[in-house]
């Protein structure tokens, strides 16, 4: 018996993947969504989303994802917990995806919406204290630092958001930034600079995480203007220094830009016909929930057109 070939497999269940699933399911394509490593994507570790249209008073990130999944399921999308470990082309123009579970799936179209993961500093001491004071997620771990002093590394919107969130628990939050001006949007900068519990250390890089072997006790800071180093005491280190796209499993199949993000056309086609990209994995610039959702919609509509042109309903 010939193995079943799915119409559409969506890799990643963040807002891009969920939106693609809503559109594909409504088009009766019965898409299958594989969750990826972080089921629900980055919004599941965000607090309030204030800028997604339609939610006048904001919506919690995990709730937005939960709603979107249910919306896609209502039209027939299937969500499965698994990760893609490889994606290859087959001689008949379809695709084979190997999954972490050991299963494989064949499909006519693929939407890659695998997102991006938090960037780490790359220090050995950071690895040693990961989960013991060093983390990339304030929403997940903030409550463990009640009454403690922490630093947040980074100068973008994420760093401001994480730092502001941490002021709810911590006695003091210090933002350590490698330059003397922030990358964050004006509104986030204003909120951060007007918060009494927040302090800033400018022109400084974390070059070492210090601890007692069990938990973090401080960091070594290097002044980027004169190279001098000093120790700074803190109980926690929150990294908010951007993200790297999740493309390892593709092993060079899809063209990427100089930063490793998938190259997609303005209507979300990759260099391989039948494979589309959506969300943060192909967006080095905007990386917003709404742009990810929009690209998921476009990818699904283009995939639907591709299938129709092939006579697959």
Is 141 annotated in the active site? Answer: yes
State which of residues 157, 283, 302, 304 lies at the interface with ligand NAP (CB under 6 A).
157
Strands 116-118 and 243-245 come out as antiparallel
Closest residue by Cα to residue 112 from 83, 137, 149:
83
Closest residue by Cα to residue 87 from 196, 246, 282, 222:
246
Q: Exactly one of 82, 141, 157, 283 is catalytic; name it.
A: 141
The nearer residue to ligand NAP, 96 or 223, going by C-beta atoms, is 223
Is 140 annotated in the active site? Answer: yes
The residue sitting closest to ligand NAP, measured at its beta carbon, is: 156
Q: How far apart are CA 113 and CA 178, in angstroms?
A: 31
Q: Name the segment binding ligand NAP (CB under 6 A); options: 52-60, 182-190, 192-200, 292-300.
A: 182-190
Residue 17 binds to ligand NAP (criterion: CB under 6 A): no
Closest residue by Cα to residue 112 from 243, 236, 308, 263:
263
Q: How far apart are CA 68 and CA 95, in angstroms?
A: 26
State which of residues 155, 211, 218, 274 lies at the interface with ligand NAP (CB under 6 A).
155
Q: CB 120 → ligand NAP: shortest distance, Å?
A: 8
| Helices (H), ranges, 58-156 | 61-74, 124-128, 138-141
- Cβ 280 vs Cβ 245: under 8 Å: yes
User: Binding string to ligand NAP for residues 48 to 87, with x set by CB under 6 A, is what?
Assistant: ----------------------------------------
Is 170 annotated in the active site? Answer: no
Q: Which residues bind ligand NAP (CB under 6 A)?
A: 121, 153-159, 161, 178-179, 183, 185, 188, 205, 240-242, 287
The residues carrying an active-site annotation are 137, 140-141
């Amino acid at each position: 018996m010939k193995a079943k070939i799915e119409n559409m497999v969506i890799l990643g269940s963040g807002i891009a993947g969920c939106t693609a699933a809503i559109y594909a399911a409504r088009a009766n394509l019965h898409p299958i969504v594989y969750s990826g490593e972080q089921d629900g994507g980055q919004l599941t570790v965000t607090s309030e989303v204030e800028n997604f249209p339609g939610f006048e008073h904001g919506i919690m990130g995990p709730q937005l994802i939960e709603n979107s999944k249910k919306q896609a399921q209502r039209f027939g999308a299937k969500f499965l917990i698994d990760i893609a470990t490889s994606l290859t082309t087959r001689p008949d123009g379809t695709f084979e995806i190997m999954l972490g579970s050991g299963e494989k799936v064949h499909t006519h179209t693929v939407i890659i919406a695998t997102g991006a993961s938090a960037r780490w500093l790359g220090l050995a001491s950071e690895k040693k204290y990961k989960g013991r004071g060093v983390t990339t997620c304030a929403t997940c771990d903030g409550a463990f630092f009640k009454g403690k002093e922490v630093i947040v590394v980074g100068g973008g919107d994420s760093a401001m958001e994480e730092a502001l969130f941490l002021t709810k628990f911590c006695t003091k939050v210090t933002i350590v930034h490698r330059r003397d001006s922030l990358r964050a949007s004006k509104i986030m900068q204003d909120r951060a600079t007007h918060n009494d519990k927040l302090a800033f250390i400018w022109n400084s890089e974390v070059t070492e995480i210090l601890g007692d072997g069990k938990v973090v006790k401080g960091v070594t800071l290097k002044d980027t203007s004169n190279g001098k180093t000093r120790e700074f005491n803190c109980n926690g280190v929150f990294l908010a220094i951007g993200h790297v796209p999740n493309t390892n499993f593709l092993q060079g199949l899809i063209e990427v830009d100089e930063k490793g993000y998938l190259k997609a056309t303005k209507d979300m086609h990759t260099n391989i016909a039948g494979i589309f990209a959506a969300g943060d994995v192909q967006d080095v610039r905007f990386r917003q929930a709404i742009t990810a959702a929009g690209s998921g919609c476009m990818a699904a509509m283009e995939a639907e057109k591709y299938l129709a042109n092939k006579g697959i309903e």
